[in-house]
Amino acid sequence: MLRSRWKDPWAKAMAAAIRPTDRLRLGHPSRLSRETQQLTLLVLGHLLVFFTSMSHDEIVAEMVSRGWVIANFAERFELLIGFCLFLCWSFLTLRLVALLQRVAHDTVEPEAKTETTGSRSRPE
């Protein structure tokens, strides 16, 4: 039998009200909530764009050496790749901010409901 770590009934009720799925966490994809999966993919997307932007000069140089890009257009192609990476980074950042705002709004909203419904005060 599991013993409760909460001796105070009010604290026990509050702990039961806060489910573990209400928080953003990293972990195994099959056990994650939808928002946490999105957060994980957005962080991985940011890392991918960051590391690609660190090496896009070398990518263009390799493309020129293999003949995929004409040497005269290498600088323009490099700028085009940099601009595309900037747009990807901006999109990922906007999605991340929207996700965090949605999660913050979802976690604040239930607390506001409990305050307006006349919840019992904590016994002292």
User: Which residue range forms the structural domain that includes residue 42?
Assistant: 35-116
Number of structural domains (the chain) is 1
Chunk the chain into consecutive blocks of 10 residues (it has 124) and report each block's average pLDDT, rounded to whole numbers: 57 59 59 79 95 94 94 94 97 95 77 55 52
Backbone phi, psi, residue 51, to 5°: -70, -30
- Whether residue 121 lies inside any domain: the answer is no
pLDDT score recorded for residue 98: 94
Residue 7 resides in a domain: no
Separation CA 28–CA 66 (nearest Å): 40
**pTM listed for this prediction:** 0.62
Q: What was the pLDDT predicted at 1?
A: 42
Cβ proximity of 61 and 75 under 8 Å: no
Handedness of CA 23, 24, 28, 33 (dihedral sign): positive
